[in-house]
């Protein structure tokens, strides 16, 4: 059965348009609450959000839905997605909810659900919730209605948890760090963690107004961070996205290090210390071939899965691996977390820098990426990937690249886009292939 509401990462869409309306959030709260109302204990759900204006609309709608089916609600306000996952498990809640569209602009919003173990829900759980959303709500008697309360020290709990993952005996006293919080969920906790560990902290993107999340800042727009690192003579720059589950790094020269480079840094350090389980890293089909070659030369494997952090994590759990992520900077460190955590990954990099005592530019760019070109084509409905013209263009691209490159054309699971990626050792050929594929997709989408 095809899912109606849930996509690659929860439910997502333009705020105040279906499915991101108060009415649908209310239905979701009632349905998810009943689905996870199991056993005879006191039932509770934890709700966090990022800084989007629409959070003020969706949060009370979800609260009403959950309380109407007898669940108590714990509200934590603006909080990173990984903090919601951690707190759900720590507080033994039956369910965790994060209101965020991650790296998308403020006009969008999304709803991510976590089970009592802190992991994102399975496809089967989401399908059962959708089925409940299509039937009449199972409301409780008035005496059994749930209550809602705010958890005032949620930020402090997460800060202490994250500090506990810092894996070096050295403090950050000698490091000047620029942290870009994307005007998002980590605007308070991220600078505080770095300051408490001893760093000199220069925060940017920490003045959210409801409409500026990810706007010209954060991991998807790191140009300002690159400039600020150089201008302040900082040792390192850290850019999170709107819900702080992604991170990219900037070295002292203002050069960007993406998620592939971050995974390479952590993998190499962990391999040397015997911490890397299974001598392997899990990444998606989008990760650069250069990462695969780097790992292979060190006797390590790269396991590729389809795009989406949930699929990375599923493969990690199934194979007993503890490091995985995406090129975009969604890094999963399963020794500590049940989902991607940008701040947690950044602390692993900072621990490496502190121990090495060398500039980030020397310890950070561990491999030369194979030329790779990404392009997004916006589509308005239809199924361009089913077009014979697009299929022929893909086959032709694969013939041109042969054994010296690869191509990937896929529909985005979070936006109305077709994403085109090609990589190979011949950058001119890669650009030509992407141009041809773009034309084919645009024709099929009209």
Q: What is the pLDDT along the chain (446 residues), one digit of tens a residue?
A: 567 899 878 999 999 999 999 999 999 999 999 999 988 888 999 999 999 999 999 999 999 999 999 999 999 999 999 999 999 999 999 999 999 999 999 999 999 999 999 999 998 999 999 999 999 999 999 999 999 999 999 999 999 999 999 988 899 999 999 999 999 999 999 999 999 999 999 999 999 999 999 999 999 999 999 999 999 999 999 999 999 999 999 999 999 999 999 999 999 999 999 999 999 999 999 999 999 999 999 999 999 999 888 899 999 999 999 999 999 999 999 999 999 999 999 999 999 999 999 999 999 999 999 999 999 999 887 789 989 999 999 999 999 999 888 999 998 877 789 999 999 999 999 999 999 999 999 999 87
| 385 in the same domain as 361 | no
| 106 in the same domain as 21 | yes
The residue assigned the tokens 């010296």 is 404
| 356 in the same domain as 383 | no
- The answer to whether the CB of 344 falls within 8 A of the CB of 351 is no
Asked which of 330, 347, 369 is the last residue of a domain, the reply is 369
> pTM for the whole thing?
0.91
What is the C-alpha separation between 441 and 377, in angstroms, rounded? 7
| 177 in the same domain as 96 | no
Collect contacts of 410-415 with beta carbons under 8 A, ≥24 apart. Answer: 410/307, 410/385, 411/385, 412/8, 412/376, 413/7, 413/8, 413/9, 413/307, 413/308, 414/7, 414/8, 414/9, 414/12, 414/101, 414/102, 414/104, 414/110, 415/104
In a domain, 1, yes or no: no
| 225 in the same domain as 361 | yes
Phi, psi of 352 (to 5 degrees): -65, -45
In a domain, 294, yes or no: yes
Check residue 1 and give its pLDDT: 54
Check residue 213 and give its pLDDT: 98
| 353 in the same domain as 298 | yes
In a domain, 5, yes or no: no
Phi, psi of 419 (to 5 degrees): -100, 130
What residue numbers bound the domain in which 408 lies? 372-445
| 271 in the same domain as 393 | no
Tokens of 209: 């107004």
| 168 in the same domain as 86 | no
| 236 in the same domain as 88 | no
Asked which of 152, 175, 203 is the last residue of a domain, the reply is 152
| 441 in the same domain as 322 | no
Count of structural domains, the chain: 3
In a domain, 210, yes or no: yes
Check residue 412 and give its pLDDT: 83
In a domain, 279, yes or no: yes
Asked which of 114, 136, 152 is the last residue of a domain, the reply is 152
Taking residue 155's Cβ as centre, other Cβ atoms within 10 Å add up to 19
Catalytic status, residue 54? no
Check residue 380 and give its pLDDT: 81
| 218 in the same domain as 83 | no
In a domain, 395, yes or no: yes
Check residue 113 and give its pLDDT: 97
Tokens of 246: 């992604």
Catalytic residue chosen out of the listed positions 102, 219, 287, 328: 102
CATH number at residue 380: 3.30.310.50
Sheet holding 417-424, edge to edge: 372-378, 417-424, 405-411
In a domain, 125, yes or no: yes
| 164 in the same domain as 139 | no
- The answer to whether the CB of 45 falls within 8 A of the CB of 73 is yes
Check residue 41 and give its pLDDT: 85
In a domain, 28, yes or no: yes
CATH number at residue 207: 3.40.120.10
């Amino acid at each position: 059965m095809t899912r109606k509401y849930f996509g690659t990462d929860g439910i997502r869409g333009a705020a105040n348009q279906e499915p991101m309306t108060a009415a649908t959030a209310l239905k979701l709260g009632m349905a998810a609450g009943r689905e996870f109302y199991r056993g005879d204990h006191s039932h509770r759900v934890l709700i966090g959000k990022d800084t989007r204006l629409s959070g003020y609309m969706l949060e009370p709608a979800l609260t009403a839905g959950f309380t109407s089916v007898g669940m108590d609600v714990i509200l934590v306000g603006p909080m990173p997605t990984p903090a919601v996952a951690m707190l759900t498990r720590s507080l033994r809640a039956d369910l965790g909810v994060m209101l965020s569209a991650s790296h998308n602009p403020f006009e969008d919003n999304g709803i991510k659900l976590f089970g009592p173990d802190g992991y994102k829900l399975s496809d089967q759980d989401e399908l059962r919730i959708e089925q409940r959303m299509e039937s009449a709500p199972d409301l409780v008697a008035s005496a059994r209605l749930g209550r809602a309360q705010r958890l005032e020290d949620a930020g402090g709990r997460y800060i202490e948890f994250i500090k506990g993952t810092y894996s070096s005996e050295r403090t950050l006293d000698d490091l000047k760090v620029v942290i870009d919080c994307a005007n998002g969920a980590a605007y308070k906790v991220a600078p505080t963690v770095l300051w408490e560990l001893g760093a000199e902290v220069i925060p940017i993107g920490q003045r959210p107004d409801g409409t500026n999340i990810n706007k010209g800042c954060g991991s998807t727009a790191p140009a300002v961070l690159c400039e600020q690192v150089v201008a302040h003579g900082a040792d390192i720059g850290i850019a999170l996205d709107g819900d702080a589950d992604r991170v990219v790094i900037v070295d002292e020269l203002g050069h960007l290090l993406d998620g592939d480079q971050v995974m390479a840094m952590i993998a190499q350090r962990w391999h040397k210390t015997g911490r890397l389980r299974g001598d392997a890293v899990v990444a998606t089909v989008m990760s650069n071939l250069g990462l695969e070659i780097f790992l292979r030369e060190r006797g390590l494997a790269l396991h590729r899965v389809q795009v989406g952090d949930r699929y990375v994590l599923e493969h990690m759990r199934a194979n007993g691996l503890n490091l995985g992520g995406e090129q975009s900077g969604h890094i999963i460190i399963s020794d500590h977390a049940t989902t991607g955590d940008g701040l947690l990954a950044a602390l692993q990099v900072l621990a490496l820098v502190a121990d090495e005592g060398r500039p980030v530019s020397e310890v950070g760019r561990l491999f030369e990426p194979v030329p790779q070109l990404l392009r997004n084509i916006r589509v308005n409905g239809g199924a361009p990937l089913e077009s014979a013209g697009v299929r022929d263009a893909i086959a032709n691209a694969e013939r041109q690249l042969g054994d010296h490159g690869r191509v990937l054309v896929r529909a985005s699971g979070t936006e109305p886009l077709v994403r085109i990626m090609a990589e190979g050792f011949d950058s001119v050929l890669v650009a030509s292939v992407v141009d041809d594929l773009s034309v084919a997709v645009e024709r099929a989408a009209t």
